[in-house]
């Protein structure tokens, strides 16, 4: 629990060093990230962030990182309003985002392994999601 608090403190500090991503940049990154996910490069992680299932190009990395930075600030602000940690919000968000994983798309559960949803397989649903 202590390490959890330290981690969230680090995230909170990091947020202030980052400018908000402009709307056109986010729209552009959305399209590439959606196609990167369909091709198995990028996937949702259990912690509510996007991760790399394969080594990304520099351009893709910039776009995914921009989305993750935006997510982090959203998690931090919701966490403050609900008196929980940003990690709690991230994990709760991942529970919902996992429901939208399409066939062929990669995802990472809390064992740290990348899997791909195969044809006919249900969406990933960790027990803790309730």
Partner 1 sequence: MIRTQRILAPIAAAVLLPALTGCISVKAPDKPIEINLNVVIRQEVLVRLQRDVEQLIQQNPGAFPTTPPQPPGSPQ
Report if residue 130 touches partner 1, rule: CB under 8 A.
Answer: yes
Q: Can you read off the two tokens belonging to residue 68?
A: 């993750």
Q: Does 19 bind partner 1 (CB under 8 A)?
A: yes
In three-state form (DSSP H/G/I as H, E/B as E, the rest C), the secondary structure along the chain is: CHHHHHHHHHHHHHHHCCCCCCHHHHHHHHHHHHHHHHCCCEEEECCCCEEECCCCCHHHHHHHHHHHHHHHHHHHHHHHHHCCCHHHHHHHHHHHHHCCCCCCCEEECCCCCEEECCCCCCCCCCHHHC
Under rule CB under 8 A, residue 13 binds partner 1: no
Examine residue 61 and tell whether it contacts partner 1 (CB under 8 A). yes
Size of the site for partner 1 (CB under 8 A): 56
Q: Identify which of residues 84 and 116 has a Cβ nearer to partner 1 in the complex.
A: 84
Residue 49: CB minimum distance to partner 1, A: 5
49: exposed, middle or buried (C-beta count within 10 Å: 0-12, 13-18, 19+)? buried
Among 53, 60, 71, 107, binds partner 1 (CB under 8 A): 71
Q: Report the residue number, 41 or 91, with the smaller CB distance to partner 1.
A: 91
Q: Which residues bind partner 1 (CB under 8 A)?
A: 1, 3-4, 7, 11, 14, 17-19, 21, 23, 26-27, 29-31, 33-35, 45, 47, 49, 51-52, 61, 64-72, 74, 78, 81-82, 84, 87-89, 91-93, 95-97, 100, 108, 110-112, 128-130
């Amino acid at each position: 629990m202590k390490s959890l608090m330290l981690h969230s403190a680090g995230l909170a500090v990091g947020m202030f060093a980052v400018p908000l991503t402009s709307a056109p940049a986010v729209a552009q990154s959305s399209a590439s990230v959606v196609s990167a996910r369909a091709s198995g490069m990028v996937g949702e992680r259990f912690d509510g962030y996007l991760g790399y299932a394969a080594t990304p190009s520099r351009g893709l990395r910039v776009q995914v990182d921009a989305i993750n930075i935006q997510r982090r600030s959203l998690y931090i602000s919701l966490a403050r309003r609900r008196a929980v940690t940003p990690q709690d919000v991230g994990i709760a968000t991942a529970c919902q985002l996992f429901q939208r994983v399409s066939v062929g798309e990669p995802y990472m559960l809390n064992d740290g392994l990348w899997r791909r949803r195969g044809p006919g397989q249900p969406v990933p649903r960790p027990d803790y999601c309730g």
